[in-house]
Amino acid sequence: MRLIVIGKEGQVARALAERVLAHGATAVLLGRPQLDLADPSGIEDILVETGGDLIVNTAAYTAVDQAEAEPELAEAVNGIGAGAVAGAAATMGVPIIHLSTDYVFDGTAWRPYREGDEPRPLGVYGSSKLLGERAVAAEAPDHVILRTAWIYSPFGRNFVRTMLRLARERDEVGVVADQVGSPTSALDIADGVIAIARNLLARQDEARLRGIFHMTGLGTASWAEFATEIFRLSARHGGPTARVRPIAAADYPTPARRPDDSRLDCTKLASVHGVALPDWHTSLEPCIKRLLEEAKAQETRS
């Protein structure tokens, strides 16, 4: 199985690049400047020339606050660009797996969101991702749209890396305690994506395998609870730690509003595709251990 992965530096793209060989697959990663979702004119030619069994689009404009000042760019990348990738997949006759987000919801349901719940984005980022979902569905009938949330990994910028950095700089960190969600490992997402890809290729006429699915780690936490666990595990492995001072989201104003409740119901994914991600506590410890080992190795080299 040969995957074409849109995105090079993102957490899920890098996780896929790391995990494909363990699953007996290969991946070609495409990203800027070779392929730019903000400039969809050449996307189809590049993808057709690259060739593959399935396309995974992990690329996105993800600067949630900056999107409020750059709505046209966010919509170009997350909406129009995503549709262009899906159109190319349809031309090639291959399935597409497209990553979306909990930000298509407003977080006011106070229960885990199901796939059929009506989206109500709070800001430009969520609106642009919803635009992308609809463009993908319109352009490529052979699609899976995966909504996920609170992604962390050993790669790039994410909450876990930020907390470890702050713990090296201060004794106490203020963290939002009134927003909840499900921390999700990018490496777990990669394993899930590969399993879904195999299902799509093996069962090409099975309509129920297509459509929108939710995929997050098992279990929930507030940001403050997530940070507390990060510091506990870091201390266990000799890393930096800090006290968590719970704060309200209103005490940490941002240009874009975030959903207060980002929980997603992943029952459909488990029942249809047989994919259920591990509990977030289970996946967090090896991630932290790896980050601490990499930081120690970097210190030794310098």
Q: What are the structural domain ranges in the chain?
A: 2-158+184-219+263-279
- Cα separation, 45 vs 88, in Å, equals 8
Confidence of residue 215 (pLDDT cuts 50, 70, 90): very high
- Other CB atoms within a 10 A radius of the CB of residue 218 amount to 18
pLDDT on residue 126: 97
Q: Note the pLDDT tens digit of each residue in 24-39.
A: 999 999 998 899 999 9
Looking at 132-146, 239-253, 267-281, 286-300, which range is the least confident one? 286-300
Strands 151-152 and 184-185: parallel
For the chain, give the percent of residues with pLDDT over 70: 100
pLDDT on residue 297: 84
pLDDT on residue 299: 75
Residue 212: strand pairing partners: 145
Q: Note the pLDDT tens digit of each residue in 62-112.
A: 999 999 999 999 999 999 999 999 999 999 999 999 999 999 999 999 999
pLDDT on residue 302: 66
Does the pLDDT value for residue 177 go beyond 70? yes
Name the CATH topology of 2-158+184-219+263-279. Answer: Rossmann fold (3.40.50)
- Of 61, 103, 125, 152, the catalytic one is 125
Looking at 82-91, 162-171, 288-297, which range is the least confident one? 288-297
At what angle are helices 159-169 and 280-301 packed, to 10 degrees?
A: 50
Full DSSP string of 153-166? -SSSS-HHHHHHHH
The model's pTM: 0.96
Full DSSP string of 77-120? IIIIIHHHHHHHHHHHT--EEEEEEGGGS-S-SSSPBPTTSPP-
Work out the average pLDDT over 205-211: 96
Q: Is 185 in a helix, a strand, or coil?
A: strand
- Cα separation, 82 vs 76, in Å, equals 8
CA distances to 66, 178, 254 from 251, rounded to whole Å, are: 20, 11, 10
pLDDT on residue 296: 85
Residues 292, 237 contacting (CB under 8 angstroms): yes
Q: How far apart are the first and last CA of the chain?
A: 40
Work out the average pLDDT over 261-285: 97
pLDDT on residue 188: 98
Work out the average pLDDT over 266-293: 97
Q: Supply the mean pLDDT for the chain.
A: 96
Work out the average pLDDT over 52-57: 98
Confidence of residue 221 (pLDDT cuts 50, 70, 90): very high
Active site residue 113: no
Tokens of 197: 């890809």
| Dihedral angle sign, alpha carbons of residues 289, 293, 298, 300 | positive
More confidently predicted of 114 and 32:
114
